[in-house]
């Protein structure tokens, strides 16, 4: 289904959109939707279920919920598993709520938290509120790497949140429309939001409930991927629009170091010849090859920066900036 069809004028704006990415969660979906409907009774809202290529009966459950709840439910289904970031990205493209909430489909996030998250966005003026599962019902093999990951993310991003990976978050709609979530970047939406110019980022302690149905869909590999993504987002945030400032500087320094070492070796050889002093052949000196490697690596880094600069200068959206105000 084309996302443009879902954002057409026939779908009026509402107060609240809840985006729920899911993968093989058929047992929990009816209970989750019933819970959300009970909490938001009388409110203007929608729940966007994004089925990430489930191979159980999840999509059939979503279609039944659509029949039961009508326009309250929007269902999107991927042809194959694309990952949580892709699911969130797609959901963000179709939301029509002034405030957007994300939550997991496994019932570990409580819909009872939604009204307070929405209030803080609307009344306190935050751009983003991230949930903090202060008390977790997870084994130490999961909680310990999570603490390390959150510490590293705080250090790199400068955003002082305790739980970056919490799926329960609230946003102003402008935030989710400004960020592009791809790869495995769903963990770093607060960082992406800050880089886009949204500085009002807060945190709220939320309840973490034990899983009621099914099993976790994430393994230990997510922590490795998480740290790799952190390096990527740190690089993009600082040098995404000016790669020459990194590759060019490193390349120039390496070339100068290599050339300086080569000049020293060559200068000594010339002096030895002029003075009649016996000196080793340049090709027999290991430092000569180190100098060559440094110069070649420096040249390659410089050219990499040059090519990256050409790519970024011609990339779509390069000169799109967030406006704070307009009169």
Q: How far apart are CA 96 and CA 78, in angstroms?
A: 20
Q: Is the model's pTM score more than 0.75?
A: no
The per-residue pLDDT for range 173-206, each reduced to its tens digit, is 999 988 888 777 888 899 889 888 898 999 999 9
In this predicted model, which residue has the larger pLDDT, 227 or 268? 268
What pLDDT is attached to residue 327? Answer: 44
Q: Is the pLDDT of residue 268 over 70?
A: yes
Enter the DSSP assignment of 211: P
Helix (H, G, I), strand (E, B) or coil at 241: coil
Q: Spell out the residues 6+ positions from residue 324 whose beta carbon is closer than 8 angstroms to its own.
A: 197
DSSP calls for 46-105: EEEEEE-S-SSSHHHHHHHHHHHHGGGEEEEE-SS---HHHHHHHHHHH--EEEEEE--S
Per the prediction, the chain carries an average pLDDT of: 84
The least confident of 25-29, 128-132, 275-279, 289-293 is 275-279
Q: Is the pLDDT of residue 53 over 50?
A: yes
Arithmetic mean of pLDDT, 46-66: 93
Arithmetic mean of pLDDT, 81-100: 92
The per-residue pLDDT for range 114-139, each reduced to its tens digit, is 999 999 999 999 999 999 988 776 66
**H or E stretch covering 272:** helix 244-275
User: Cα angle vertex 144, ends 142, 150, to 5°?
Assistant: 100
């Amino acid at each position: 289904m084309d996302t443009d069809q879902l954002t057409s004028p026939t779908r009026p704006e509402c107060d609240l959109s809840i985006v729920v990415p899911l993968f093989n969660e058929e047992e929990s979906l009816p209970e989750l939707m019933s819970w959300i409907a009970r909490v938001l009774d009388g409110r203007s809202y929608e729940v966007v279920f994004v089925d990430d290529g489930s191979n159980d009966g999840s999509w059939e459950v979503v279609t039944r919920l659509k029949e039961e709840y009508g326009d309250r439910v929007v269902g999107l289904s991927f042809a194959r598993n694309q990952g949580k970031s892709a699911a969130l990205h797609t959901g963000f493209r179709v939301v029509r709520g002034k405030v957007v909430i994300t939550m997991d489909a496994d019932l570990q996030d409580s819909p009872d938290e939604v009204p307070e998250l929405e209030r803080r966005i609307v009344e306190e003026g935050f751009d983003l509120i991230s949930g903090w599962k202060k008390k977790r019902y997870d084994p130490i093999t999961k909680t310990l790497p999570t603490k390390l990951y959150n510490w590293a993310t705080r250090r790199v991003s400068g955003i002082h949140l305790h739980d970056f990976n919490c799926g329960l978050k609230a946003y102003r709609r402008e935030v989710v429309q400004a960020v592009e979530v791809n790869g495995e970047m769903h963990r770093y939406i607060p960082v992406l939001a800050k880089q886009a110019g949204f500085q009002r980022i807060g945190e709220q302690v939320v309840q973490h409930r034990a899983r009621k149905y099914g099993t976790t869909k994430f393994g230990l590999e997510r922590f490795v991927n998480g740290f790799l993504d952190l390096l990527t987002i740190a690089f993009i945030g600082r040098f995404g629009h000016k790669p020459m400032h990194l590759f060019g500087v490193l390349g120039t320094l390496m070339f100068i170091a290599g050339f300086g070492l080569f000049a020293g070796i060559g200068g000594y050889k010339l002096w030895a010849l002029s003075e009649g002093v016996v000196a080793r052949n340049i090709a027999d000196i290991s430092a000569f090859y180190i100098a060559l490697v440094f110069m070649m690596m420096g040249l390659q880094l410089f050219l990499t920066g040059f090519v990256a600069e050409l790519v970024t200068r011609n990339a779509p959206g390069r000169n799109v900036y967030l406006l704070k105000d307009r009169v």
